[in-house]
Amino acid sequence: MRLVLVPTPIGNLEDITLRALRVLKEAEVVACEDTRRTGILLRHFGIAKPTVRLDQHTVGRAKELLEGYGYVAYATDAGTPGISDPGAELVSLGLKEGWELEVLPGPTALVPALVASGLPTARFAFEGFLPHKRSERRERLQGIAVGRTVVLYEAPHRLRDTLEDLLEFYGPAHPVAVARELSKLHEEVFRGSLGEALEHFGEPRGEFVLVLGPKEAATPQGPSAAQLLERLRAQGLR
Ligand code: SAM
């Protein structure tokens, strides 16, 4: 079977690619996280196609649910399937089954958030959604931003808790960017410190990507190279 993962817009429908539209038109069936949501997208682009629901509860039965199809397109609710959604499970299942896999490049929330943050992009880590349990979340947060920028997805009702936890580990002045409703009408990119972000997002609404600035690696205690050189010179050594 040929399985093609099709990224879909995270807000602005103009972000669908020509290739994504072609695959959606050519495939025998469109498997998707939510048939109603993807149905709206298909109708918008004038594509009439049968759909099969493959969400987090049903993706494990993909082989059985896609039985008989030779060419399947898979779309999740928004963005690139496989990034913090059931797409990753479908990929690993498909590879085990020996399906032919193609992944189209396209919209995803993490890249525009990272770039718009203005924070360093040379080294970054994507941590997706943090665990819901506070103790597990705090454990994960320790040291994640050492020497690299960190990108997190967060639900609106947990944004403040996460900012508070981050503030505890990194301090109120630590740089952060919060991208909200990317490519939608109320798109906003907040850039500032953790303390300012908490003040700014009193009642968070919409979809959020949090971008945490890198933390300097702790320097080992002891004299620096310059200090050592100075001492050697003082002892008359060259
Ligand atoms: N597969 C998607 C991708 O490629 O980005 C991510 C799916 S995940 C279930 C949904 C999360 O992505 C949201 O909770 C939010 O953190 C982020 N997200 C999706 N669309 C967004 C948008 N327009 N603006 C900001 N964040 C967004």
Could you tell me what percent of the chain has a pLDDT over 70?
91
Q: What is the mean pLDDT of residues 218-227?
A: 50
Judged by DSSP in three states, 122 sits in coil
C-alpha 232 – ligand 1 centre gap (Å): 56
- Report residue 220's pLDDT band, with 50, 70 and 90 as the boundaries: very low
- Judge if the beta carbon of residue 9 lies within 6 A of ligand 1: no
User: Is the CB of 187 within 6 Å of ligand 1?
Assistant: no
Q: Are 53 and 32 in contact (CB under 8 A)?
A: yes
- Tell how far the Cα of 37 is from the centroid of ligand 1, in angstroms: 15
Q: Per residue in 40-56, pLDDT tens? A: 999 999 999 999 999 99
Give yes or no for residue 85 CB within 6 A of ligand 1.
yes
Q: Which residues contact 98 (CB under 8 A, 6 or more apart)?
A: none
Predicted local confidence at residue 27, as pLDDT:
98
Q: What is the DSSP string of 36-73?
A: HHHHHHHHHTT----EEE--TTTGGGHHHHTTT-SEEE
Among residues 40, 34, 129, 16, the alpha carbon closest in space to that of 74 is found at 34
Q: What ipTM goes with this model? A: 0.99
pLDDT (mean) for 195-220: 90
- Torsions phi, psi of 20, nearest 5? -60, -45
pTM: 0.91
Distance 163 CA to ligand 1 centre (A): 18
pLDDT tens by residue, 174-189: 999 999 999 999 999 9
Q: How far apart are CA 60 and CA 54, in angstroms?
A: 8
Cβ of 109 closer than 6 Å to ligand 1, yes or no, is: yes
Average pLDDT over residues 130-138: 91
| Distance of CA 83 from the midpoint of ligand 1 (Å) | 9
